[in-house]
Amino acid sequence: MTATDAPRRRLLWRLVFGLSLALNVLVVSAGAGLMLSKRGGNEEAPPMRAGFVGPMLGVLPPEDRRAVLSQMHRFGKSIGVTRGGQEEVRAEIVALLEAEPFDAAALRQVLEQSNTRFSAFTEAAQAAICDRLETMPPAMRAEYVDRLKRFGTYRGDWKAGHKSDRDRDRDRDGGERDRERD
């Protein structure tokens, strides 16, 4: 063995150990991320936003969806419902919450103005979607309905085979609780 072989061999072992360490850290991080993402116990799908606009817009044919989105971007910009507008409202709310003395009336006013803008945006989106649906031929509208019925399955039905607590209770008691409510 020559003098030049030893440093090369040492360098090779350092590279092998470094690569092994990097892979171990990657595997442990991926496992930890997976475990932490499942924390909280709430396995239900997140609630839909008011107005059911997202799903109705999401299953429109691509050209109709683009047209409605373009229309909504223009409308949103005109009334201040943009990401920048949302950030301004958030900053204003934070400033009001940090202010001493706290002004509850000012906070209510900011929240009311924000709700008015966002509800106007939702109503305009609903109107734009309805206008598109009104011009659709019946066969195309039937395809739209099929996509809307399957909307939850596009996200893997949140958890394949997962039943909510309410569904498990209904299965267990044969639907008695539902009949009691009626």
**Residue-wise pLDDT tens digits, 19-61:** 888 888 888 888 887 777 665 544 444 444 455 778 888 888 8
13 is a domain residue: no
165 is a domain residue: no
Domains contained in the chain, number: 1
69 is a domain residue: yes
**Full residue range of the structural domain in which residue 79 is found:** 50-151
**Residue-wise pLDDT tens digits, 101-141:** 999 999 999 999 888 888 888 888 889 999 999 999 999 99
9 is a domain residue: no
**Residue-wise pLDDT tens digits, 59-101:** 888 898 899 989 988 888 888 777 888 888 889 999 999 999 9
The whole-model pTM stands at 0.50
Is 58:151 a contact under the CB 8 Å cutoff? yes
58 is a domain residue: yes
Q: Pick from 72, 60, 181: which is nearest to 132 by CA?
A: 60
73 is a domain residue: yes
In the chain, % helix, strand, coil (3-state, to 5) comes to 75, 0, 25
List CB contacts of 65: < 8 A, sequence separation 6 or more: 57, 58
With b meaning 16 or more CB within 10 Å and e meaning fewer, what string describes 58-95? ebbeeebeeebeebbeebbeeebbeeebeeebeebeee
